[in-house]
Structure 1
Amino acid sequence: LANLSVGGVMLAMVESVDHVTETAKRLPNVPIVALVETARGLERITEIAATKGTFRLAFGIGDFRRDTGFGENPATLAYTRARFTIAAKAAHLPGPIDGPTVGSSALKLSEATAVSAEFGMTGKICLTPDQCAPVNEGLSPSHDEIAWAKEFFAEFERDGGEIRNGSDLPRIARANKILDLARAYGIEVSAFDDDQAVHVPAPSDTYHY
């Protein structure tokens, strides 16, 4: 592989820093997505995320459940998903990639994608091409969120663009995150006409940035 043009590697069963560093030596400058799939890997996820060579974290949910005996209820896996997002944030990585949803139920996929977004995950492994569009739609910012972010910045500039209280910084961070994520998903933010905008209430997670 070292002599091939590789866009990136999803490294399975990552349980230690060595798994990433050894791969990075063999494939220098190739982004590595560390797929953490076991309890052992989860216990070392902070170090794995901070390792040079780790581009992003991904949750290998199927093998993790087999390893731990956990069920698939979102509440059961809440702690695990939180660990992924916190480790990624602490290491200044993009949001983690959630595990796949097995089956052909559109409703189940939609609900699972909503869970991913709730835990700050900004990607999800797809098992078939048909899953890509609904997953992208579920993880991308909504029309209301984009409208709120644009309205917030417009009002902020009209008010002089100065930080006036403690709530401004988290709202700025949240608005930036919404617009950056929208652009990452190919949404043309400028298509939202500021001149015709009406007041949009802040998203419920405005302060969770």
Structure 2
Amino acid sequence: MGTKIPVTYLFVPADRPERYEKALASGSDRIIIDLEDAVRIDAKQAARMALRHADIDWERVVVRMNPAGSQFFEEDLLAVAETKVTTILLPKAERQSDIVDLLNALEREVEVIPQIETAKGLNELDQLLLAPCVRRVAFGHLDMAVDLGTANDWDSLVLARQTLVWRSRLHHKDPPIDSVTPAIDASEVFREAASAKRFGFGGKLLIHPKQVEPTLKAFAPSDQEVEWARKVLAALENSYGSAVAVDGKMVDKPVEDAAKRVLAALTTSEVDQSLYALIDKDKN
């Protein structure tokens, strides 16, 4: 069974290296060392120096560079090239060629997560999803709202969010990562994370360690969902190809796929060993 897809991505300012390990200890699946919005212009050089000297678990680290074409991008690239970073978040992504050029400059493969924050980026979404080393995209609703001239609430950005989910699925990519929630209150974070999950997102960007727990809870399958999924897959395993009903309802292919998605969201230790083959079936 494959590695669990990361759900939580916690930002930490690149110019605050004393917070790197604290962020990693927060329980977040990934941390994002941010060279962009979280760092003042006069602190960019210090941020890059801190990044270069970081001695951390790079497998759990994402670096958000400044946008391609910005005055800060080339120096960011030089700093990133001196690290062991395995994933880059590229903000305001609009061109596939920027991703190709980034990878060529690094002369090694890293995962690239394009962050969709503009109308042009949304219009170029297919090409960004098809770029090398892209497994998923992230949403930036605040900048998108500014670019579109809309409010930054859910109703105003429904089409943008649905487009990210739809096109990601079409191109067989991992579910996209939803944007940040400015509020720190756990109930508000949980509500927005649960809404993102219902929309089809597979993760969320976070700005505070207190947001990790409610986000993980929102994206985790409920006990009832897990029980149902296990019953469905166990019934299929024992059916030997015959028609199967669970709780009085027939189990067809969409129901089977839904059950597999529920259990795929659990960690390896939480999934019955006997169900691995059923969950992984048809992946290829």
**Candidates 156, 169, 185, aligned match of 2:253:** 169
Give how far 1:95 is off.
0.6
CA distance in 1, matches of 2:113, 2:145: 20
Aligned residue in 1 for 2:227: 147
Does the CA-based 8 Å contact 2:141-2:157 persist in structure 1? no
Q: Match for residue 160 of structure 1?
A: 240
Superposition deviation, residue 163 in structure 1: 6.5
Match of 2:264 in 1: 180
TM superposition score normalised by structure 1? 0.83
Residues 23-172 of structure 1 aligned to structure 2 (within 5 Å)? 23-27=102-106, 28-162=108-242, 168-172=252-256
Partner of 1:21: 100
Shift of 1:158: 2.7
Answer whether contact 2:186 2:210 (CA < 8 A) is retained. Answer: no
Aligned partner letter, 1:19: D
How far is 1:32 from its partner? 0.7
Q: Secondary structure at the match of 1:95?
A: coil
Distance 1:111 1:30, change over 3 A: same
Q: 1:173, 1:59 → 2: CA distance? A: 26
Corresponding residue number in structure 1 for 2:271: 189
Which has the larger share of strand? 2
Between stretches 67-76 and 143-152, larger displacement belongs to 67-76
CA distance in 1, matches of 2:119, 2:244: 45
Q: Distance in 1 between matches of 2:159 and 2:167?
A: 12
The answer to whether the aligner puts 1:2 opposite 2:81 as a matched pair is yes
Task: Provide the secondary structure at the position in 2 that maps to 1:33.
Answer: strand
Q: Report the Cα distance in structure 1 between the residues aligned to 2:237 and 2:271, rounded to whole angstroms.
A: 18
| CA 1:188–1:154: 2 relative to 1, 3 Å | same
Q: Distance in 1 between matches of 2:178 and 2:243?
A: 35
In the TM superposition, what whole-angstrom CA distance separates every residue of 1:90-137 from its partner, at most 9, and x where no partner exists?
Answer: 221111000000022222211111110011101000001111111111
Counterpart of 2:153, as a letter, is N
Q: What is the one-letter code of the residue matched to 2:185?
A: S
- Answer yes or no: is the 8 Å Cα contact 1:37–1:61 preserved in 2: yes
Q: How many angstroms does 1:159 deviate by?
A: 2.3
Give the whole-Å Cα distance in 2 for the aligned partners of 1:48 and 1:34: 7
Q: Whole-Å Cα distance in 1 between the matches of residues 132 and 195 of structure 2?
A: 29
Cα distance in structure 1, aligned partners of 2:213 and 2:133: 29
**Cα deviation digits, residues 128-154 of structure 1 (max 9, x gap):** 111111111101111111111100011
1:54-83: CA deviation from partner (whole Å, max 9, x where unpaired) = 121000111111111222332221111111
3-state SS of paired residue (1:32):
strand
**1:207 maps to which residue?**
none
Note the aligned Cα RMSD (angstroms): 2.2
Percent identical pairs in the alignment equals 25
Matched AA of 1:55: R
Quick check: which has more Rg, 1 or 2? 2
TM-score (norm 2): 0.62
Partners of 1:48 and 1:162 lie apart in 2 by 43
Equivalents in 1 of 2:241, 2:231: separation in Å? 13
